Amino acid sequence: MKRFWRKAARHGSNRRAAVFVAIIDAENMASSSLKNRRLPVGAEPQPQGGTHFRVWAPAAHEVSLEFDGGGSQPLETEPGGYFSALVAGVGAGARYRFRLDRDRALPDPATRFQPDGPHGSSEIIDPSGFAWTDEGWRGIAPEQLVIYELHIGTYTPEGSWAAAARHLPELAELGINCVEMMPVAEFPGRFGWGYDGVNLFAPTRLYGRPDDLRRFIDAAHALGIAVILDVVYNHLGPDGNYLRSFAESYFTDRHGNEWGEALNFDGPDSAAVREYFVANAGYWIDEYHFDGLRLDATHQIFDDSADHILAAIAHRVREAAGPRASFIVAENDDQTAQLVRPPGQGGYGLDALWNDDFHHSARVALTGRREGYYRNYRGRAGEFVSLARHGFLFQGQHSGLHGRPRGTPALDLAASRFVVCLDNHDQIAHSGAGKRGHQLAAPGCWRALTAYLLLMPGIPMLFQGQEFAASAPFLYFADHEGELGRQIAAGRREFLAQFASLASPELQASLADPVAPETYRACIIDHGERARGRQAETLALHRDLLALRRNEPVFARRDTRVDGAVLGEEAWVLRYFAEDGRDRLLIVNIGSDHVLDTVVEPLMAPVEGRSWQLAWSSEAPRYGGTGVPDPVADGIWRIPGHAAILLAPSAP
């Protein structure tokens, strides 16, 4: 999806440390320090003392270190445009900049922390100082994941990793076993979505210090929750991005890009650029124990080289994870199946793709609107059956919206190769008013499709607060001032104008200002809603469905054979086949009641010698429903409207 620039701020203390600087020139010491490096670039404290600094700046003739509080030291030249030095008397907590050719002093392109934001000095961080307790953690198999997308800045009023960690037990109790954290790489301003990151190795100061992020992940692992990080390798933000000052070669005009300059993964001098991004992918797994990555907008990552950068990233993530399970999921508007095929079959070796087809069909079914990028979808039963059986709906057919074929053949891919959702950060914000799906749909239909989401094949994902029908919107917000802020607001209005209902002058005037602090504050979740009325009923719905998914053998076994059929334009059935005869039928009807005295669909036939009995219904009163009749009586099927029902065989 098109994006705009985003994120949030707080000012850390500006600790000034006078440092004793001494360069150690001995060749053997320099060689030893290189062997001890975790990353090819950046500042790294060494076991024998001091800190080793290394930066790629091929256009510079000389590079020197400058420390807050006084002290400077020239770096030694290395082949390939690198500069480095092992500096004694400098350790964790010291702040520094690089001065290129006696020009302006700039933050480190591979800084591990920016306490005063992307324009301030870099701080040396020692990753070995954190006491991890997750030695026994081995992760979760991809096919078992239930993902929860989370934006740290709005998940709690405090907007911090420490505050978010206090809610992890609630997620574990619900049945969530994976948090997908929206981007945390440092970006300018006081608030935003995080997709305008400019310091890719530095967790943003807005949510706490680096060890606060480590504590969040350590606590999640103790509760059986994996954590994956949303990373942006298709562009950098427009404010605070100093990479070009170090090397023009970070960017290229050989490829176009929706959000500015494309990154150079295949042109001249691209080896160091590739090294930088591949190292970043491994860094999050190694130093922070993330369990994987969500790769943003991979259709805007361009690489014509033999070893595609996405394949190189996947290899590095697996290497960094070691024996732990890892998970790499990509957003890819082109729906290219090659991304998730194994390298031996010419693929890139990722694990899964976001399936926007599922979301778009569901949104049309729930709202009736087929405007903007929803025009390709009808929200009919046949689409939902195909989504369960085949993953993507578009696998190379012509798309009216795109004016060309969309997707590639993916019929061979398992259901666990697709992440499906009813809400995510983009789609809620693109409603204009930031309304969540439950606020746009009829309650019964929302419950029915929630059941389908959580019980169908595939990897389900919830967006923060979805489990209890949170009332807070999720709007687009980005803290940029002046002309950039005005351009962002105008760009947002222009993007939303593709939806006819949001194109009128009246609606355009009502859109929230993305750079206004009140827009950001409106999106903060109120966790107190969990225990209130309809929100508590929604929470019970999600808890029970996730328990079914986890405990019922036909749902828990992700290799269960599933088939589906259309029962009407708005009604369909999935049958889950069990070897022991404990099959299940999931029937979803988002239209009016169906009464059938003859059923010609073989998937509806009962297990031999048994009859179908109601096992669960989305219309149970505990979920806010109005109840359902016995679905099968005297040979007559009564399929309730705006409901999902689960049937099981009677006792033998």
Tell me the pLDDT tens digit for each residue of 353-400: 999 999 999 999 999 999 999 999 999 999 999 999 999 999 999 999
Report yes or no on whether pTM surpasses 0.85: yes
Q: How many Cβ atoms from other residues are within 10 Å of residue 543's Cβ?
A: 15
Q: Do the domain assignments include residue 233?
A: no
**What confidence tens digit (pLDDT) does each residue in 433-449 have?**
999 999 999 999 999 99
**pLDDT value of position 558:** 77
Last residue of a domain, one of 69, 93, 126: 126
Is 32 domain-assigned?
yes
State the total domains in the chain. Answer: 2
Could you give the 3-state DSSP secondary structure of residue 143? helix
Q: Are 541 and 623 in contact (CB under 8 A)?
A: yes
Residues 417, 423, 425, CA angle at the centre, nearest 5°?
95
533: pLDDT confidence band, cut at 50, 70 and 90? confident
Single residue among 80, 111, 126 that ends a domain in this structure: 126
Contacts 24+ apart (CB under 8 A), 252-256: 254/302, 255/302
R_g of the chain, CA atoms, integer Å: 26
Whether 581 is covered by a domain: the verdict is yes
Asked whether the beta carbons of 98 and 106 are under 8 A apart, the reply is yes
pLDDT recorded at residue 35: 61
Report yes or no on 48 lying in a domain. yes
Mean pLDDT of the 442-467 span: 97
Q: Give the whole-number percent of the chain exceeding pLDDT 90.
A: 89
279 versus 558: the higher-pLDDT residue is: 279
Of the residues 109, 126, 143, the one at which a domain ends: 126
Q: Are 576 and 584 a contacting pair, CB within 8 Å? A: yes
pLDDT tens by residue, 563-601: 999 999 999 999 999 988 899 999 999 999 999 999 999
Q: Given this model, what pLDDT does residue 379 score?
A: 97
- Percent of the chain, pLDDT > 70? 95
Over residues 157-202, the pLDDT tens digits come to 999 999 999 999 999 999 999 999 999 999 999 999 999 999 999 9
Structure confidence by residue, pLDDT tens digits, 117-144: 999 999 999 999 999 999 999 999 999 9
For 15-67, the three-class secondary structure string (H helix, E strand, C coil) is: CCCCCCCEECCCHHHHHHHHHCCCCCCEEEECCCCCEEEEEECCCCCCEEEEE
CA distances from 253 to 197, 260, 302, 468 (A): 21, 10, 11, 46
Enumerate residues 6+ apart whose C-beta is below 8 A from 341.
347, 348, 349
Residues belonging to the active site:
296, 331
Report whether 541 contacts 446 (CB < 8 A).
Answer: no
Whether the CB-CB separation of 338 and 344 falls below 8 Å is answered with no
CB-facing half-sphere around the CA of 440: CA atoms within 13 A: 22
Phi, psi angles (nearest 5°) of residue 633: -145, 125
| Total Cβ atoms within 10 A of residue 210 | 21
Across the range 198-210, mean pLDDT stands at: 98
For residue 34, the model assigns a pLDDT of 63
Residue 428 falls inside a structural domain? no
CATH number at residue 50: 2.60.40.10
Q: What residues make up the domain containing 569?
A: 557-649
Does the pLDDT at position 15 exceed 90?
A: no
d(CA 558, CA 457): 7
Nearest to 6 by CA among 188, 200, 171: 188
Alpha-carbon span 58 to 447, nearest angstrom: 57
Helices (H), 36-167: 152-155, 161-165
* Confidence at residue 9, expressed as pLDDT on a 0 to 100 scale: 26
Asked, for residue 241, whether it belongs to a domain, the answer is no
| 404 within some domain | no
DSSP notation for 202-269: EE-GGG--HHHHHHHHHHHHHTT-EEEEEE--S---SSS--HHHH-GGGEESSS--TTSPEE-SSSTT
pLDDT of res. 127: 95
- What CATH number corresponds to the domain at position 639? 2.60.40.1180
The pairing of strands 76-77 and 72-74 is unpaired
Dist CA 179 CA 247 (whole Å): 35
Give residue 378's pLDDT: 97
* pLDDT tens digits, 479-499: 998 999 999 999 999 999 999
Mean pLDDT of the chain: 93
Question: Is residue 542 assigned to a domain?
Answer: no
Q: Which helix (H) or strand (E) holds 425?
A: helix 425-429
Q: Is the model's pLDDT at 98 over the cut of 60?
A: yes
